[in-house]
Amino acid sequence: MNSVEPISDFFAELNTFVGDRPEQLLQYLYRIQYRYSFIPPQAVQLLAARLGLPASAIHGVIEFYSFLHDTARGDFDILFSDSITDHMLGSRTLAHRLCERLGVRFGEPRGDGRVSVDLTSCTGMCDQGPAMLVNGWTVTRLDEARIEEIARLIETTTPTDEWPAEFFAVEDNIRRRDLLLTSATSIGSALQALLNKGGQGILDELDRSGLRGRGGAGYKTANKWRFCREAEAQQRYVVCNADEGEPGTFKDRVLLNSYADDVFEGMTLCAGVIGASQGYLYLRGEYRYLLDPLQTALERRRQAGLLGHNILGMDGFDFDIDIHMGAGAYICGEESSLIESLEGKRGIPRKRPPFPVTSGFRLQPTVVNNVETFLAATEIAVHGADWFTAVGSGQSTGSKLLSISGDCARPGMYEYPFGVSIRQILQDCGGEDAQAVQVAGAAGSTVPQRDFDRSIAFEDIATGGSFIVFNQARELLDMVQNFARFFAHESCGFCTPCRVGGTLLKDLVDKVHSGHGTEYDLQQMREIGALMRDTSHCGLGTTAPNPVLDTLDKFPAIYQSRLCDSGYEPAFDLDAALQEAKQMRGQDQDTTHFETEP
């Protein structure tokens, strides 16, 4: 355990701003983890008593979230981003170099308890990687020199707040601005529009604007707000989903850094329309560095009369926002999983219906929108529907924010009117040498060169915002392998199709990647992927096979070139696994074996 004050003292300090409701469990655990590098047994006992929860439930939550641990991780807990974009920038080589310098193995804390090094999923720094987290703080633009300096700082036990500030620098990298990012909106103007037009007037404006959720699914925002407004309830809630865990996505990070007031105003606008008095920003754990600035922005809004009681002097318009930290679970980007996590539970997706607009947080009507959607709602309230519909195409009004990374000269965030072609985007970001683009992250689609004239739009290629470029020199099977491992790791484990199917797909991709695959394995991939799509409990399971199935159809050569000659070869070699045991027993390896039937 780190040399800090006793857990009971820290626990008392936490209670002053966390509270004693069971739904605050994850917030306690998150803070205790980063104070002690793990959740001590005494903390579990104290939490069980304070929150009225069984210890088994608390341990279940600890086991679910990848940033929580019940054994010490060390004074310096380092997690290298395992995103495909970090791989492309040499992250694995740098990670192994740091392990060599520190004399530590992946996933195993060093004997002296000083340091641990491991991998984590995408950290949302794809435009400025390779990246890593150290005790939850983001370190960007890793290279050999920084790795050497980090090793020295750790060996000298230098606290992270004394590390060079440039190590923790995170840039917005906004490369192109359009409708949303160029509008001049003064703080409070959207709420003034609400007072002038009323809730129904704002709903009508949103309806005419055609605004659809910017998370990728594209559900009409006005309908979601209306259904929640009309649902009978004593309390309603507004939730902003800032858990952008899709590999290659980082636009929420930028908006929360530079446009937080517009996002919070959109949440408050929604509250005024639907009659909510409480809101939550669910912030992914990888964005810990944004927590204090966001809290400051919220307090500034309270002081300005834009949050709290009688907002803008309007009697009964009471609304406030709390920030809820995630703890490393991709599945919590799904809205019902996010609500479960918000309630302090494991992020297991709920069965739907009922939908959150009628039975969400605390089983009350809840609007869940993402960061970009709330920003767009703010701007529409101020500038009007006609302003918004002046750009876009077909069923896709307005603009879209894209997080662009990979093999391009100018990675960063770009805003385009819907309808822009992939070819145009590649020209703008310096990715003309692309052989493929992964749109919408690991769960999205792999777009080949022949489709580069297709457009970003709900009626063509929809996306939550991720746009990863792969040049002609890249092995696309490396991407597929990375995504397959990602989905196997991130499955919540609730349903068999996703839990087992994801692991089977990962094993088959590994087998083909290593040159041992056969045509039979490719057929197995298709069958398992189809089963996952048809029978998984939630969207993660149904989209997890996408990178495999998509590339099997569009890039068959990347698989065919790796196949071995045999018609069948098992993914698991039992003889090889038993070789050491046979040698210890003095058995003849050539005669003591098992035959495996296809």
State the total domains in the chain. 5
Same domain (yes/no): 485, 508 = yes
Average pLDDT over every residue of 267-296 = 98
Same domain (yes/no): 244, 162 = no
Note whether 381 and 400 are within 8 A (CB): no
Residue 281 lies in a domain: yes
Instruction: Give CA–CA dist 98/151, Å, rounded.
Output: 7
Same domain (yes/no): 358, 238 = yes
Note whether 411 and 469 are within 8 A (CB): no
Same domain (yes/no): 205, 293 = yes
Same domain (yes/no): 51, 102 = no
pLDDT at 6: 80
Note whether 252 and 209 are within 8 A (CB): no
Phi and psi torsions of 39, nearest 5°: -100, 100
Average pLDDT over every residue of 55-68 = 97
Strands 392-393 and 399-406: unpaired
Of 114, 144, 170, which residue is a domain's last? 170
Residue 145 lies in a domain: yes
Average pLDDT over every residue of 417-435 = 98
pLDDT at 569: 58
pLDDT at 217: 81
Instruction: Give CA–CA dist 202/163, Å, rounded.
Output: 48
Instruction: Output the furthest CA–CA distance in the chain (Å, rounded).
Output: 87
pLDDT at 466: 97
Residue 594 lies in a domain: no
pLDDT at 15: 75
Strands 466-471 and 399-406: parallel
Average pLDDT over every residue of 141-148 = 98
Residue 526 lies in a domain: yes
Report the SS3 class of residue 486.
Answer: helix
pLDDT tens, residue by residue, 359-392: 999 999 999 999 999 999 999 999 999 999 999 9
Same domain (yes/no): 207, 339 = yes
Q: What secondary structure, in 3-state letters, does 235-252 show? A: CCEEEEEECCCCCCCCHH
Of 457, 474, 491, which residue is a domain's last? 474
Same domain (yes/no): 156, 83 = yes
Average pLDDT over every residue of 95-111 = 96
Note whether 247 and 122 are within 8 A (CB): yes
Q: Please give the single-letter amino acid code of residue 2.
A: N
Residue 320 burial by Cβ neighbours in a 10 Å radius (0-12, 13-18, 19+) = middle
Average pLDDT over every residue of 27-46 = 94
Give 568's contacts (C-beta < 8 A, 6+ positions apart): 518, 520, 598
Average pLDDT over every residue of 144-158 = 98
Report the b/e string of 401-420 with b at 16+ CB within 10 A: bbbbbbbbeebbbbbbbbbb
pLDDT at 113: 94
Structure tokens at 19: 């509270």
DSSP at 167? G
Q: How confident is the model at residue 574 (pLDDT cuts 50, 70, 90)?
A: low
Same domain (yes/no): 341, 279 = yes
Residue 204 lies in a domain: yes
Closest CA to 3 of 167, 223, 170, 157: 157
pLDDT at 573: 62
Q: Is 571's pLDDT higher than 60? A: no
pLDDT at 241: 98
Distances in Å between the Cα of 57 and the Cα atoms of 62, 325, 344, 570 are 9, 19, 10, 39
Instruction: Give CA–CA dist 492/512, Å, rounded.
Output: 26
Note whether 306 and 265 are within 8 A (CB): yes
Residue 175 lies in a domain: no
CATH code of residue 143: 3.40.30.10
Report the SS3 class of residue 227.
Answer: helix
Q: For residue 444, what are the domain limits?
A: 396-474
pLDDT tens, residue by residue, 80-89: 999 999 999 9
Same domain (yes/no): 239, 343 = yes
pLDDT at 528: 97
Q: How confident is the model at residue 579 (pLDDT cuts 50, 70, 90)?
A: low
Residue 528 lies in a domain: yes
pLDDT at 596: 39
Place of tokens 């995103």: 83
Instruction: Give CA–CA dist 29/31, Å, rounded.
Output: 6
Closest CA to 262 of 327, 184, 323: 184
Q: How confident is the model at residue 591 (pLDDT cuts 50, 70, 90)?
A: very low
Instruction: Give CA–CA dist 528/377, Å, rounded.
Output: 40
The CA radius of gyration of the chain, in Å to the nearest whole number, is 25
Q: How confident is the model at residue 249 (pLDDT cuts 50, 70, 90)?
A: very high
pLDDT, mean over the chain: 93
Select the more confidently predicted residue: 11 or 167.
167
pLDDT at 578: 59
Same domain (yes/no): 457, 554 = no
Select the more confidently predicted residue: 95 or 564.
95
Report the run of H or E that residue 540 belongs to, with start and end: helix 539-543
Q: What secondary structure, in 3-state letters, does 294-333 show? A: HHHHHHHHHHCCCCECCHHHCCCCCEEEEEEECCCCHHHH
Q: Is 587's pLDDT higher than 70? A: no
Instruction: Give CA–CA dist 567/60, Å, rounded.
Output: 44
pLDDT tens, residue by residue, 315-329: 999 999 999 999 999
CATH code of residue 304: 3.40.50.11540
Report the SS3 class of residue 134.
Answer: strand
CATH code of residue 485: 1.20.1440.230
Residue 184 Cα to chain centre, angstroms = 29
Q: Please give the single-letter amino acid code of residue 94.
A: L
Residue 135 Cα to chain centre, angstroms = 18
Same domain (yes/no): 375, 405 = no
Phi and psi torsions of 236, nearest 5°: -130, 160
Place of tokens 């920038």: 89
pLDDT tens, residue by residue, 491-550: 999 999 999 999 999 999 999 999 999 999 999 999 999 999 999 999 889 999 999 999
Of 336, 358, 390, which residue is a domain's last? 390
Residue 492 lies in a domain: yes
Same domain (yes/no): 386, 417 = no
Q: How confident is the model at residue 582 (pLDDT cuts 50, 70, 90)?
A: low
Note whether 329 and 229 are within 8 A (CB): no
